[in-house]
Structure 1
Amino acid sequence: MLELSILGFLAEQPLHGYELKERIAALSGHVRPVSDGALYPAIKRLVAAGLLAERIEEGVSAAPRRMLSLTEAGRADLLRRLRTPKPVEISDQARFNTVLAFLRHLPDRREQAAVLRRRLDFLQEPSSFFYRGGRPVAAEEAGDLFRQGMLRVARATGQAERAWLAEAVAELERDA
């Protein structure tokens, strides 16, 4: 997801590493903070793969800094990643939010709708944080106040997300 975030933010404008780190932290830092030890090697891999370009820009009152921008190959890779998110990028809420943050870069509304439909289909399957006898435990069956709270909040969040996804899919398919 770090690479998707890098490609997605650079699709919007060239940035230097610190700005990029700040934007990634704002998107997902509270869930999955990004360290320099993860970010800069990822940038180096993407540059080596020809997905990012680097240029040195003179600093105003600081040392020169490396500006990063997306190459055409990088844009193509971003679009490929957005068209075909991995199953975990659909099922994991934080990862799906990263896909969602950049889905607008996918130019085809039908393709956008297809990604949202995959998430909606996933959310239609019964699930829980807890299982008893191989079946999901509902909030009313949780047995303690705290697990009941977790399950009630998750149910309300899931209902709201499913409603939004259904509306968004309908809008995208209508406008396609």
Structure 2
Amino acid sequence: MTGTTPATPAWKGTPVLPLAILGFLAEEPLHGYQLKDRITGLTGHVKPVSDGALYPAIARLEAKGLIERRTEPGAGAAPRQVLALTPAGRAELARRLREPTPTEITDRNRYFTILAFLHRLEDPAAQAAVLRRRLDFLDAPGAGFFFDEDGKPVKSEDAPTLFRRGMTQIARATAKAEREWLKAAIAELEEGA
């Protein structure tokens, strides 16, 4: 079609904070401080969420019609604001879970955010497809970052320091455990589909 541009997804290529907000609000309406506590619980010390990041993200989601504010009576005299997901927000959450970006598949912290809410995607085949993308990433040959003094790559077990060898050992063990879980989860989802 000439003269038109394809629709751009609302959050393509952005951090996962909007996804975490949508995911937690899909579970139940929350106050801002409750939402912040849940996101902090998900990301922990790795990526703490600040008010300066959370509240502007909430405002952007609200401006796009993905979440709404409701006023509830407060415990004291002041009413409290509650955030809730709109039908458009539920649709955006489903789209984000069905179509994670390459970075959301390859970056462990971003992938774990997808994984935390993947149960919200009701189609087992679609869930399995996301898990298969992560498995494909883990199975792809990776380039190491260990080089000898001539700049030639060396096997990771021959890394020049105890600590880099430790990094490799931990990464391999973690990847092995994740592969085993992914294969079992994909088989279970496909069997149930």
Give the structure 2 partner of residue 109 of structure 1: 124
Matched-pair contact (CA < 8 Å) for 2:146–2:159: no
Larger displacement relative to structure 2 (55-64 or 164-173) = 55-64
Post-superposition shift, 1:131? 4.1
The total of aligned residue pairs comes to: 175
1:11-26 alignment runs, 5 A limit: 11-26=26-41
Q: Find out whether 1:87 has 2:87 as its counterpart.
A: no
The alpha-carbon deviation at position 134 of structure 1 amounts to: 7.3
Alignment partners' CA distance in 2, 1:127 and 1:42: 34
Residue 127 of structure 1: how far off its partner (Å): 2.3
Q: Which amino acid aligns with 2:126?
A: E
1:44 equivalent in structure 2: 59
Larger radius of gyration: 2
Are positions 1:148 and 2:165 aligned together?
Answer: yes
The answer to whether the aligner puts 1:29 opposite 2:44 as a matched pair is: yes
- With over 3 angstroms needed to count, the CA separation of the structure-2 counterparts of 1:125 and 1:66, relative to structure 1, is same
SS of structure 2 residue aligned to 1:56: strand
For residues 64 and 112 of structure 1, do their structure 2 counterparts lie closer, same or farther at Cα, with a shift above 3 Å needed? same
* Matching residue's letter, 2:158: E
Alpha carbons of 1:144 and 1:62: their partners in 2 closer, same or farther (altered >3 Å)? farther
Are 2:184 and 1:164 aligned? no
Alignment of 1:120 with 2:135, yes or no, is: yes
Q: TM-score, normalised by structure 2?
A: 0.86
**Deviation larger for 110-119 or 49-58:** 49-58
Which consecutive residues of structure 2, in runs of 5 or more, have no partner in the other structure?
Answer: 1-15
More helix by share: 1
Find the aligned partners of 1:134 and 1:157 in 2 and give their Cα distance: 26
Q: Any stretches of 5+ residues in structure 1 without a counterpart? A: none
Contact 1:7 1:70 in 2 (8 A): yes
